[in-house]
Amino acid sequence: MDLAIVAHAAEAGRNAEALQALHPSFPTEAPPRFDVERLARIPDVSRETRADCVACPLFRFSRCGGEDGQSASSTYLDMSRLSYTTHTAAARRAIRHPKEWSDYVMVICSGRAVSSITLPDGRRQVLSILLPGDVVCASSLFEPISGYAADAITDVTYRRFNRSEFKALLSKNYGLFERLAKMWAEESERADQLALDLGRRRADERVARFILNLAERLARRGMAYGQTMDFPLRQRHIADATGLTAVHVSKVLGEFQRLGMIKIHDRSLTIVDESELRRVGAPH
Amino acid sequence: MDLAIVAHAAEAGRNAEALQALHPSFPTEAPPRFDVERLARIPDVSRETRADCVACPLFRFSRCGGEDGQSASSTYLDMSRLSYTTHTAAARRAIRHPKEWSDYVMVICSGRAVSSITLPDGRRQVLSILLPGDVVCASSLFEPISGYAADAITDVTYRRFNRSEFKALLSKNYGLFERLAKMWAEESERADQLALDLGRRRADERVARFILNLAERLARRGMAYGQTMDFPLRQRHIADATGLTAVHVSKVLGEFQRLGMIKIHDRSLTIVDESELRRVGAPH
DNA sequence: CGGGCAATTGAAATACATCAAGGCGTGTGG
DNA sequence: CCACACGCCTTGATGTATTTCAATTGCCCG
């Protein structure tokens, strides 16, 4: 779930040096591809934004007054009042423990993570791959929740916002609520599609769709280089996301590569034959 | 998703006879078990409510100022301004077509229905069994959506509310928004649990949990008679809800009955050995 | 009475899991 | 710097849960 606006807007009006100190890894997340024309199309915001914000993925990939034409200026300014703290988690460490009932909402700033549910016997379902700008657990925006784990895949930086502050802001700002409602709808659809995938699609379809989905989400953030993307995921992650075993994922991926549909190399993935991948990814 | 409050509150302040004319099937949904003590605990609302509202499941099963102690009075009154129309759908007919982009939000009043997504090749995933008080498609509360079907299992009555009216009301009423946020959290959790079930549980676990979930939802509405509940579902519905085939569902249900865990007879289901069913339903 | 949907049951097929072994890269401690 | 352990990926053999196919029955409804 993109709540990029929350995290980004908090950034506005703060000191660039301080930000650099807080999370030096920020600018390295994606190659700096400053799209000046696009920025110019974003009303109000661009004029008030510091250079470091432009490099911040939470800004660049937000739909905060972006292309979709939402009126964002007032929302944007209001949200800058939210306070946050910035944290890091090393690769393979927990960002959020399943039993936690936290008063905070967490947003990923850089790196990759997974959110998942695990059964006592170890079976695990990952609900989503978390990318920069994603809220760690969407339903935690309004209520403290438990039962969800979030784990860093790569080194991750994230920010914690105070939930009650956020809600207080929300109560005064219907525009923000509108955006949230849209996000809810998207989030629900993603969850429903996941159920469809897990309940009714075969292994190769699931894996193909998983890759395509990830590619699209990255592309939307400008984090894809042509048909190539960073791919730090272990096959275990893919397996838990698609409801398969890691062994079977290995076989499916191997087959995809043998058929020339994708290429995986050195922690990056290239979609070679997109149309074929889409065909396997099957009936929309 | 319970949005009972929406449907019920719309009922307030209207004429009892007119209501009876509009949906004569209302009182027949559940045996009239008027819990006077419980009603007395609901602040404000009970005093202003007509007799027919008490019989209305949208009221009786709503959490509209109910036990959970939410302050509901102002919300309740505001919502009575929403207008609606009442409709019926015969068993096995569509309530909502997948391609529909409707300006309305639909709430089930009586009967049972399913909401589902279907692939071009016919594979179908049911996302939820709709009970009285449920919003037909939660994410349609804020945005028109498509791709979701809703079909009546039994004869169904439902109401259509105007989305923009609802949103307008919402914009003026933060209390209502709070309730919605809680609903969102619950809805998300249900979706996530569904993913876990479909991705990581075996057939018998899925079926057991499906039954237990349904029983609990019905019990919460006072629509269970001891351990027995109406069970108009076809095995095809269970199959599509659990990601299995109807044939396999038949085998699992047969086994459950042979083991004395449940009894299915004459479109009703009795949980005979609840603890065993829970054991099979497996690690919480 | 006929026809279609629903449920049951058994036999065969298959998709995926489980088990097991080997290789490769990487970090780590001697 | 080497040895070693460990996580990760691959591949083949085997096992099994679930699907598919098919035949039978009962039931409801026209």
Over residues B128-177, the pLDDT tens digits come to 999 988 899 988 988 999 999 999 999 999 989 889 988 888 887 777 78
DSSP B68-124: T----HHHHHHHTT--EEEEEE-TTSEEE-TT---SEEEEEEES-EEEEEE-TTS-E
Report d(CA A150, CA B121) in Å as an integer.
Answer: 35
pLDDT digits (tens, 9 = 90+) for A207-242: 999 999 999 999 988 899 999 999 999 999 999 999
Q: Which residues of A touch B123 (CB under 8 A)?
A: 200-201
| Under 8 Å between Cβ of A127 and A135 | no
Report d(CA A82, CA B161) in Å as an integer.
Answer: 35
Instruction: Name the residue among B82, B103, B108 with its Cα closest to residue B163.
Output: B103
What's the Å distance between residue B244 CA and nucleotide D19 C1'?
Answer: 9
Q: How high does pLDDT run on average in chain B? A: 77
Q: Beta strand pairing status for A113-118 and B124-130?
A: unpaired
Share of chain A above pLDDT 70, in %: 71
Chain A residue with CA closest to B196: the answer is: A125
More confident residue, A91 or B22: A91
- When pLDDT is averaged across residues A154-163 and rounded to a whole number, the result is 90
- When pLDDT is averaged across residues B42-47 and rounded to a whole number, the result is 34
More confident residue, A268 or A65: A268
Q: Which pLDDT does position B81 carry in this prediction?
A: 62
Domains of chain A, first to last: 4-184 (2.60.120.10), 201-281 (1.10.10.10)
Who contacts B32 (Cβ-Cβ below 8 Å, separation ≥6)?
B55
Per-residue pLDDT band at A87 (split at 50, 70, 90): very high
Q: Is the pLDDT of residue A19 over 70?
A: no
Q: Which pLDDT does position A1 carry in this prediction?
A: 52
| Under 8 Å between Cβ of A95 and A113 | yes
Q: Choose, out of A126, A146, A188, the residue to mutate when testing the contact with B (most B CBs < 10 Å).
A: A188
Q: Which pLDDT does position A229 carry in this prediction?
A: 97
A246 touches strand D (CB under 7 A): yes
Per-residue pLDDT band at B254 (split at 50, 70, 90): very high
Bridge partners (DSSP) listed for residue B87: B158
Q: Is the pLDDT of residue A3 over 80?
A: no
Check A243 against B127: CB less than 8 A apart: no
Q: Is the pLDDT of residue A5 over 50?
A: no
Burial class (CB within 10 angstroms; exposed 0-12, middle 13-18, buried 19+) of B30: buried
What's the Å distance between residue A92 CA and nucleotide D2 C1'?
Answer: 28
Q: Is the pLDDT of residue B42 over 60?
A: no
pLDDT digits (tens, 9 = 90+) for B114-128: 999 999 999 999 999
pTM of the model: 0.81
| Under 8 Å between Cβ of A140 and A105 | yes
Give the bases of strand D that a protein CB approaches within 7 Å: 7-12, 17-22
Report d(CA B223, CA A89) in Å as an integer.
Answer: 48
B279 touches strand C (CB under 7 A): no
Helices B163-171 and B174-200 pack at an angle, to 10 degrees, of 120
- Which secondary-structure segment (H or E) carries A111? none
* B139 to chain A, closest Cα gap in Å: 5
Per-residue pLDDT band at B10 (split at 50, 70, 90): very low
Q: Is the pLDDT of residue A125 over 50?
A: yes
- When pLDDT is averaged across residues A25-50 and rounded to a whole number, the result is 36
pLDDT digits (tens, 9 = 90+) for B67-111: 333 333 333 334 456 788 889 999 999 999 999 999 999 988 889
Chain A residue with CA closest to B167: the answer is: A178
Check A143 against B182: CB less than 8 A apart: yes
Q: Which pLDDT does position A166 carry in this prediction?
A: 84
Q: Which residues of B touch A142 (CB under 8 A)?
A: 178, 181-182, 184-185
B93 touches strand C (CB under 7 A): no
Phi first, then psi, for residue B112 (nearest 5°) are -125, 145
Burial class (CB within 10 angstroms; exposed 0-12, middle 13-18, buried 19+) of A31: exposed
Phi first, then psi, for residue A66 (nearest 5°) are -80, -150
Q: Choose, out of B99, B192, B193, B278, the residue to mutate when testing the contact with A (most A CBs < 10 Å).
A: B192
Give the bases of strand C that a protein CB approaches within 7 Å: 5-10, 15-20
DSSP B158-183: EEEEEHHHHHHHHHT-HHHHHHHHHH
Q: Which residues of B touch A139 (CB under 8 A)?
A: 184-185, 188-189
- What type of residue sits at position A70? Q
B251 touches strand D (CB under 7 A): yes
Q: Which residues of B touch A140 (CB under 8 A)?
A: 185
Per-residue pLDDT band at A180 (split at 50, 70, 90): confident
Per-residue pLDDT band at A76 (split at 50, 70, 90): very low
Q: Is the pLDDT of residue B8 over 60?
A: no
Report d(CA B200, CA A195) in Å as an integer.
Answer: 12
- Compare CB distances from B184 to A142, A170, A171 and report the shortest one's residue: A142
pLDDT digits (tens, 9 = 90+) for A126-150: 999 999 888 899 889 889 999 999 9
| Under 8 Å between Cβ of A151 and A95 | yes
